Structure 1
Amino acid sequence: MKTTGNAVFISGGSAGIGLAIAKKLSAAGNKIIINGRSAERLQKALGELENAVAIQGDLSLEADRIRIARELAEQHPDVNIVVNNAGAAFMNNLSDSANNTAEKAYQEINTNYLSIVDFTSKLLPLLLIQDDAAIVNVTSIAVFRGNKYLPTYSASKAALHSYTQGLRDTFADNDKLNIYELYPPLVNTEFSAEIGGAKGIPASEVADELFLALATDQFEVPVGDAKRFHQLAESLSANSH
């Protein structure tokens, strides 16, 4: 699809991967609408962007999803790309009965999966009237295998991965709406600091890969180490048919 002249909504756009994507697309001549929970962080991010506005809100809350979807439809009816990037992640020790495991898993599933399903359904009427539109769901290298440090986060991203595949199949015959899945590996952001993010790739690398994918209609977008796992998964899937 085109990589300039779009109106792009990015959840979790005030920092990390979301802000890197916002910078890349802003520099390419797109209108940017960033979303986040912190008004202060949003204002700071706007200072690093051109042709950008912010909508504060927490998309894990139904009331905010309704409000933000309505604001987009009323004030930004030209929105044609939605990047579902906001997420939640917790170190979750499954062997510790005092760890509050289920509550952490609930927050991850709600933020990383259920909220995206609901918000996407609310924005589909707007996207489907555009001449060229896209949904970008940011999953993770973790969809390919969980681990003992982030088992429930991995499960929530695996759910989003499966939903994204179903969404793509649903609109396979609609050449005006494309569904992308972005698979970052470990990325050096504040979000990933607790799990060793300092060893990860820069967020700008993720943004660069997404930009290239949009330009070439590459709907599966593994980044860095995720490319190896994605290639193996694709090979196994092909051999199973």
Structure 2
Amino acid sequence: MKTSNNTILITGGGSGIGLEMAKLFSADNTVIITGRTADKLHKAVKELPNVKSITADINNAEDVQNLVEKLHADHPDLNIVINNAGLAHYFRLTDPNANAFEKAGEEIMTNYLSIVRLTEKLLPLLQKQQEAAFVNVSSIAAFSPGVVLPGYAVSKAALHSYSQVLRISLEKLDKQPVVKVFELMPPLVNTSFSKDIGGENGISPQDVALELKKALENDTYEIHVGATAEFYKLYLSSPEAALQAINATK
């Protein structure tokens, strides 16, 4: 699909991968970034061309409804939604003070359920466009979980399944659907989001953004970024070996 002259919403667009996507696409698209921290959003808007911001917490039903209404009113040509906002808690299930239930609930809400809600509300708008797409930012962890990211891995596995089902459902409506569904699956990325698990050893968020642009241009729906490509091959050959590999140094 085309990667210029679009109107793009990026959740979690004020930092990390989301901000790099905004930088990359703002040159020749209209970009709307959203997130909970107004200061980060405003800073990005000042520094980047063609970028606007709407402060919203995607976990808050009222914020989401206000966001959707504003998009309908101010950006009726919205045709790409990048569900990038995410949350990760680093803990072990064997830690008696892990509060695993609460943390897993937060991760499922942010990384999966909030995307289901926003997608459901914006799908009718995207279906009005000539060409449109949802991009769900998943993870290498969707294939095999790591012991220090148990709730995160589960939430990304759920998002992986949801992305597949949404794609197939739209294809059953039309063999060449107006709305395409992409899933971006990075490995470890060097952002503040992953600093507690050695994010400095990961790939750059700029590389992730570039891989997304290339995938959009080529209609590559499941995007295995960097090390995810080789890991996926291992996973296909032996799920057990992949599970052991991702937990080898944890």
Pair in the same fold by TM > 0.5:
yes
User: Per the alignment, do residues 105 and 130 of structure 1 end up closer, same or farther by CA in structure 2, a change over 3 Å counting?
Assistant: same
**Aligned with 1:10: secondary structure?**
strand
Once the two structures are TM-superposed, the CA of residue 215 in structure 1 deviates from its matched residue by: 0.7
CA distance in 2 between partners of 1:236 and 1:197 (Å): 26
- C-alpha deviations, 1:71-109, integer Å up to 9, x for none? 111111110000000001001220122211110000000
Once the two structures are TM-superposed, the CA of residue 175 in structure 1 deviates from its matched residue by: 2.6
How does 1:37-52 map onto structure 2 within 5 Å?
37-52=36-51
**Aligned with 1:171: secondary structure?**
helix
Task: Give the counterpart letter for 1:165 in structure 2.
Answer: Q
How many residues align? The count is 236
Other-structure match for 1:84: 83
Contact 1:23 1:48 survives alignment (8 Å):
no
Task: Give the counterpart letter for 2:186 in structure 1.
Answer: P
Task: Give the counterpart letter for 2:216 in structure 1.
Answer: L
CA distance in 1 between partners of 2:91 and 2:62 (Å): 28
Task: Give the counterpart letter for 2:33 in structure 1.
Answer: I
Pairing 1:212–2:214 present: yes
Other-structure match for 1:203: 205
What's the TM-score, normalizing by structure 1?
Answer: 0.95
Other-structure match for 2:96: 97
- C-alpha deviations, 1:129-188, integer Å up to 9, x for none? 000000000000111110110011000000000000000000112431110000011001
Other-structure match for 2:64: 65
CA distance in 1 between partners of 2:58 and 2:221 (Å): 24
CA distance in 1 between partners of 2:232 and 2:169 (Å): 22
Once the two structures are TM-superposed, the CA of residue 233 in structure 1 deviates from its matched residue by: 4.7
CA distance in 2 between partners of 1:196 and 1:120 (Å): 32
CA distance in 2 between partners of 1:21 and 1:90 (Å): 24
Other-structure match for 1:149: 148
Other-structure match for 2:2: 2
Other-structure match for 1:34: 33
Other-structure match for 2:190: 188
What's the TM-score, normalizing by structure 2?
Answer: 0.91
Task: Give the counterpart letter for 1:103 in structure 2.
Answer: E
Where does structure 2 lack aligned partners over 5 or more consecutive residues? 240-250
CA distance in 1 between partners of 2:125 and 2:183 (Å): 20
Once the two structures are TM-superposed, the CA of residue 235 in structure 1 deviates from its matched residue by: 6.6
What percentage of residue pairs aligned between the two structures are identical? Answer: 50
How does 1:112-123 map onto structure 2 within 5 Å?
112-123=111-122
Other-structure match for 1:225: 227
